[in-house]
Amino acid sequence: MCSRKVLVFPSAEEMGPALARLVSSRAKRACSSQRRRFSLGLSGGSLVSMLSRELLALPDLDSSAWIVGFCDERLVPFHNEESTYGLYKNQLLSKINIPEDAVLTINPSLPVEECAEDYARKLSETFPGEEVPVFDLLLLGMGPDGHTCSLFPDHPLLEETKKTVAPIRDSPKPPPERVTMTLPVVNAARCVAFVSTGASKAPVLKHVLEGGEGPPLPAARVVPSQGELLWLLDEPAAASLSLQVQRPPPGAEL
């Protein structure tokens, strides 16, 4: 049963430290469980710089038992500025104590279908015995059209039930070729946290969180079957919501 919390912060700056504490608390919880490791899925967009800055500001970050994957990735070389891995490598992964083989990257030299299969294989090898990889925490963004990962409105990939990772050739947002985790993987996670800031997100957030006309938008289809669902918003993004939200005080555990 999914528990959903909508957490609103005065500004993106005040949300940042709370996001870092969320990652660190879920990491400690996972590493002290029988799994003895913490699996984290990352997304691109504005999350890259916020998360990197805030995790590096933590006084006691220990990422030696982390496994990091990507909720979606653009099929471009790592040195290309569109590469989500490339951005995280520069801003975060090269600055923390994470073993190189604990970062699950796509192979951008493969054609997109093979790239998705190769990444799916990496996930299944990293999560042996699990039909669908169960991440401890997935961090997601949401576009103004309601997309998340590379799952776009009205796209057939929303109906994917067999693959854990799917290729996409016709992403409406460039670059067009990408690979993405599918909804079964996203919804199997122990915790999914969306990070969404800015007034431009207000209308789509109302639609996603409170419902609206037409089929549910991709972000509204993220409902972890066993896990927690958190929405971290700033006040401008939450401005149109009528539902009950929480406003965590500074320093609160999430």
Ligand X SMILES: O=C(O)[C@H](O)[C@@H](O)[C@H](O)[C@H](O)COP(=O)(O)O
Contacts with ligand X by CB under 6 A lie at 43-47, 72, 74, 141-143, 173
Least distance to ligand X, CB of residue 139, Å: 10
HSE-CB of 195 using CA atoms within 13 angstroms: 26
Q: Is 45 or 62 the residue whose CB approaches ligand X more closely? A: 45
Q: Which single residue is written with the structure tokens 């789509």?
A: 204
Q: Alpha carbon 231 to chain centroid distance?
A: 11
Least distance to ligand X, CB of residue 143, Å: 3
> Are residues 188 and 134 in contact, defined by beta-carbon separation less than 8 angstroms?
yes
With left for phi above 0 and alpha for psi between -120 and 50, is residue 163 left, alpha or beta?
beta
Q: Is 41 or 44 the residue whose CB approaches ligand X more closely? A: 44
Q: How far apart are CA 218 and CA 215, in angstroms?
A: 9
Q: Whose CB is nearest to ligand X?
A: 45
Q: Is 30 or 105 the residue whose CB approaches ligand X more closely? A: 105
Least distance to ligand X, CB of residue 59, Å: 27
Least distance to ligand X, CB of residue 173, Å: 5
Strands 72-74 and 228-234, how do they pair? unpaired
Q: Is 43 or 63 the residue whose CB approaches ligand X more closely? A: 43
Say how many residues make up the chain. 254
Q: How far apart are CA 17 and CA 29, in angstroms?
A: 18
Least distance to ligand X, CB of residue 49, Å: 9
Give the C-alpha distances (Å, rounded to integers) separating 156 from 78, 96, 159.
28, 38, 6
Q: Is 30 or 168 the residue whose CB approaches ligand X more closely? A: 168
